[in-house]
């Protein structure tokens, strides 16, 4: 179906955090569905639109910052969106210990600012909040589901818990169509280089292509429920297509250790991780989330959502992309 003949043609969506991993996949998905997409970007001294390659010309970028209410109100007034996806955040857990106040400003209070902008400027718009499995932290039950109590273990997790509850509160206070997606870790070749899967796959690619010998990591025993970002943005959209707003866990239902991730990634290029990985206490956190494993049966039953990419496929896809990118760079340099 062409975008023009799609049932969503003429619908407008506003995405905060559009330059990030999820923002790029979501904007591609919505443009394919026929949406007019408005992406919120903050000013930077140099452009960082690499992830938007291919869709940059098919969307409208608006300048606003989660720290600045008037800029958000203006973006909302210009876009007049039917759907708002709040993906912007300081999303790297270790930085939330070094910059706890800023993390709270972006990741917690920023949600209230976006909700206020929606309430004042586009009150009929449907709202999605990017909540996180980090809210479960020191988990009270396994697997974690929508009713599992929160016990965040980082300033980031605490900020996300605030963002979750303020979303629920605006739904209950003002009758807004506001939904919260409690998404477990999701990755892709576009993942930031500091997150562990990408750090591993990029490190493996550098070692395989002779750029490096060693990869330094922290806790190899931590377990995560890792899925593919392309699958997870579909779940965000499905939440906003429901008659009633609600909260949903989005996860694969499988958990793996960081060590297993190393094993799959190094094997992909014919290497043994034990020969290359060194433990570095600098990457161990002051408080750890030991185990995340999600139960997405509500999302499956109500949204018809299911993941399509397995853990192994995901890590191999990321290794292949990193090796190909480094080889292309090398070839470019030689020519």
User: What secondary structure, in 3-state letters, does 106-127 show?
Assistant: HHHHHHHHHHHHHHHHCCCCEE
| Catalytic (active site) residue 134 | yes
Which two structure tokens, joined as six digits, stand for 147? Answer: 């009713």
| Catalytic (active site) residue 146 | no
DSSP string, 70-92: HHHHHHHHHH--SEEEE--S---
Q: Rounded distance, CA 253 to CA 295, Å? A: 6
Does the footprint of ligand NAP cover residue 20 (CB under 6 A)? yes
Minimum CB separation of residue 312 from ligand NAP in Å reads: 18
Contact 170, 119 (CB under 8 A): yes
Which two structure tokens, joined as six digits, stand for 126? Answer: 């449907």
Does the footprint of ligand GDD cover residue 185 (CB under 6 A)? yes
Contact 108, 91 (CB under 8 A): no
Identify the helix (H) or strand (E) that includes residue 40: strand 36-41
Does the footprint of ligand GDD cover residue 219 (CB under 6 A)? yes
Does the footprint of ligand NAP cover residue 27 (CB under 6 A)? no
Cβ-proximal residues to 204 (8 Å cutoff; 6+ apart), any chain: 215, 265, 266, 268, 269, 271, 319, 322, 323
Minimum CB separation of residue 149 from ligand NAP in Å reads: 18
Contact 129, 248 (CB under 8 A): no
Minimum CB separation of residue 285 from ligand NAP in Å reads: 16
- String marking each residue 39-78 x if it binds ligand GDD according to CB under 6 A: ----------------------------------------
Does the footprint of ligand GDD cover residue 122 (CB under 6 A)? no
Cβ-proximal residues to 167 (8 Å cutoff; 6+ apart), any chain: 111, 115, 127, 129, 131, 178, 179, 180
Q: Count of residues binding ligand GDD (CB under 6 A)?
A: 22
Catalytic residue among 24, 131, 132, 180: 132
Using CB under 6 A, which of 19, 133, 180, 252 touches ligand GDD? 133
Minimum CB separation of residue 122 from ligand GDD in Å reads: 26
268 bridge partner residues: none
DSSP string, 178-192: EEEEEEPPEE-TTS-
Using CB under 6 A, which of 56, 119, 285, 302 touches ligand GDD? 285
Does the footprint of ligand GDD cover residue 257 (CB under 6 A)? no
How many helices and strands, by DSSP H and E, does the chain display?
11, 13
Cβ-proximal residues to 101 (8 Å cutoff; 6+ apart), any chain: none
Minimum CB separation of residue 271 from ligand NAP in Å reads: 26
Region 170-199 residues binding ligand NAP, contact defined as CB under 6 A = 183, 185-186, 192
Chain CA centroid to CA 183, Å: 8
Q: Name the segment binding ligand GDD (CB under 6 A); options: 66-74, 212-220, 232-240, 306-314.
A: 212-220
Residue 22 contact partner, candidates ligand NAP, ligand GDD, none, CB within 5 to 8 A by sort of partner: ligand NAP
| Catalytic (active site) residue 45 | no
Using CB under 6 A, which of 208, 222, 309, 317 touches ligand GDD? 222
Give the active site residues: 132, 134, 156
- Chain residues that interact with ligand NAP, rule: CB under 6 A: 16-17, 19-23, 42, 44, 48, 65-67, 87-91, 106, 130, 132, 183, 185-186, 192
């Amino acid at each position: 179906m062409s975008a023009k003949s799609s049932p969503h043609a003429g619908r407008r969506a506003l995405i905060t955090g559009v330059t990030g991993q999820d923002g790029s996949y979501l904007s591609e998905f919505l443009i394919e569905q026929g949406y007019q997409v408005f992406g919120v970007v903050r000013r930077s001294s140099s452009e960082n639109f690499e992830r938007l390659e291919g869709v940059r010309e098919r969307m409208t970028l608006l300048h606003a910052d989660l720290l600045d209410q008037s800029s958000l109100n203006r973006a909302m007034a210009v876009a007049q969106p039917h759907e708002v996806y709040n993906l912007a955040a300081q999303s790297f857990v270790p930085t939330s210990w070094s910059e706890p106040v800023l993390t709270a400003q972006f990741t917690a209070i920023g949600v209230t600012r976006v909700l206020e902008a929606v309430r004042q400027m586009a009150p009929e718009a449907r709202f999605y909040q990017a909540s996180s499995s980090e809210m479960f932290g020191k988990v009270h039950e396994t697997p974690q589901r929508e009713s599992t109590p929160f016990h965040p273990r980082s300033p980031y997790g605490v900020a996300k818990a605030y963002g979750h509850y303020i979303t629920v509160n605006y739904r209950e206070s003002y009758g807004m169509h506001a939904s919260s997606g409690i998404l477990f870790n999701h990755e892709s070749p576009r993942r930031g280089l500091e997150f562990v899967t990408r750090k591993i796959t990029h490190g493996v690619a550098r070692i395989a292509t002779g750029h490096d010998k060693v990869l330094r990591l922290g806790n190899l025993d931590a377990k995560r429920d890792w899925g593919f970002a392309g699958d997870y943005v579909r779940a965000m959209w499905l939440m906003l297509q429901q008659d009633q707003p609600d909260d949903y866990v989005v996860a694969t239902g499988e958990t793996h250790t960081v060590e297993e991730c190393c094993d799959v990634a190094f094997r992909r290029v014919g290497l043994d991780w034990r020969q290359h990985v060194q433990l570095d206490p600098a990457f161990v956190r002051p408080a750890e989330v030991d185990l995340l494993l999600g139960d997405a049966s509500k999302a499956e039953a109500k949204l018809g959502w299911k993941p399509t990419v397995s853990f192994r496929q995901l890590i191999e896809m990321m290794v292949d992309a990193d090796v190909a990118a480094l080889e292309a760079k090398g070839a470019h340099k030689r020519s």
